[in-house]
Chain A
């Protein structure tokens, strides 16, 4: 049990260390990466099932008792996020075996991926505010290097925006953590929750101060989650690295920001819900609309998808802003759906790039005729993203919209529905341009006379298709099995709203 909490950190670190030891052999690095990610996935499954069985669990690292040392804690939400991270990690590693170029592989691609995953898992599992910041940094530094690995010109340009904005956000986060420590004298999140309530009760004047700190956290995590108005680093950078790296970024990194928001705005800053969460809901709405409108103006496969990440972050933030059990369950559902579907779409874009050599929609085309199977694999997550039943996105959106109707926030609901239609528009655009229309002449380098109509996939592409099939199947399953999943997500939401259990488990464990 305690072991399961630290294994999601130990396994990626071991894999990173081992693959550095076998630096010279790309094959060995691949093997270490694959085994590490597979082990992480297994551990994540075990962790989730343990949390399901025993409830929230915690361990005190280094045997320092709770408010002083660093606590690792897993509730249903954390465990789910770790499982999703491990799923994407495994899928992307398998994909990379087929897709990654030898140069990037021999310059530390697999160790970096492992370190990235360690940072993501650490952020999900920690129960300490400063430690959360540290895991964010671990994750960001690995992502900086992954973003520029290969050193192509557009990568550098994207990386400058990405690194700058993220460093600013880290500075704000660190300042906010410092102020919280000055205010309360503790960094343990469970302990903080109690102290902040106490401060509220003792001195009403301090309340506005707490709100100010809450806003700093909102800005810091908002930048990392790519929420309006500081989202522009994301569409500027996510289309520049190879598709595998884009997929892991798109699937995981912004969601860690959303996780941070959900964690602090359910556990710590719930003193003035009308203001803070009202603002969050507003930001969510604006983020949705800007993201989806930005996407409509794009003509590059991955840039459209990048803007849609922004738009979909809006849904999650909106659901947090509604702050009811049903809405939070919807948010968790949406995060799950989005991580899987979005990574899957990015991986498909990589396959299309491998086949046609471009991401530009104007130069793509005819993929449906030549590669019908790939077209199906795009269609499933794309329609899930647009919210077409019976796929995962439909139920995720339904849960959020229903939660909005319950609290009579009709404007928010109307916005969410409108954005859904515009999402469908973007997805149809990719479908029509890349898959449906006939291939433009100058790139049709496989004339029908020499190659058969149904052009085959080479070996590397077949490896790349394995994770795509897996993720697409998960999207379908999450839609078909929405009922039991929603039960799981409601449980996660209950634990987020009823913070007493979390606090009790963290502060009372003595191991």
Chain B
């Protein structure tokens, strides 16, 4: 199923979808969004790629193995919990740090974001693993 329209569109939409997924991830901390929906959005970008071309191309576009994404995601989410242990708080307690970035103003980073990044990676990994193995079958 080769369609010139779809493959051209996917080339344009693919980066947009990926950027939107990151936007959802970052927005999710206080507003609707988050790692799960962001991850699904990112996975859908690669699914579109797979539909426009084929599963192998999508796998190549993903660059890393889905399993690696799942593993890295699990470890990132776990690290978010361990940070709290390292500073003597109970496991998974949220902690934040503020710093000043020249030109960009005051920034606050917290472990919930790291946890969400972990969720994001796991969701991308799991969806891609399921979809690619079904598509390649």
Contacts and interface: CB of A to CB of B under 8 A. Distances in A.
B78 interface: yes
A2 interface: yes
B65 A16 contact: no
Contacts of A14: 75, 78
Interface in A134-149: none
The interface size bin for chain B is 20 to 34
A10 B81 contact: yes
Nearest to A2: B90
B74 A62 contact: no
**Main DSSP-derived SS at the B contact region:** helix
Contact of B75 (A17, A59, A111, A511): A17
A73 interface: no
Contact of B74 (A13, A60, A72, A108): A13
A3 B70 CA distance: 25
Nearest to A3: B85
B18 interface: no
B67 A23 contact: yes
Interface string B47-90: 00000000000000000010110111111001001101100011
Given A3-B85, A23-B65, A23-B68, A16 B90 contact: no
A21 B65 CA distance: 9
Given A6-B85, A21-B68, A59 B74 contact: no
Interface in A1-21: 2-3, 6, 10, 13-14, 16-21
SS class, residues of chain A in contact with chain B: helix
Nearest to B92: A62
A20 B91 contact: no
Nearest to B72: A21
Given A59-B91, A62-B92, A63-B90, A18 B78 contact: no
26 contacts: A2-B90, A2-B91, A3-B85, A10-B78, A10-B81, A10-B82, A14-B75, A14-B78, A16-B74, A17-B74, A19-B71, A20-B67, A20-B68, A20-B71, A20-B74, A21-B71, A21-B75, A23-B68, A59-B91, A61-B90, A61-B92, A62-B92, A62-B94, A63-B84, A63-B89, A108-B67
Interface of B: 65, 67-68, 70-75, 78, 81-82, 84-85, 89-94
Interface of A: 2-3, 6, 10, 13-14, 16-21, 23-24, 59-63, 72, 108, 111, 511
> Lowest 4 A-B CB distances belong to which pairs?
A20-B71, A17-B74, A21-B71, A23-B67
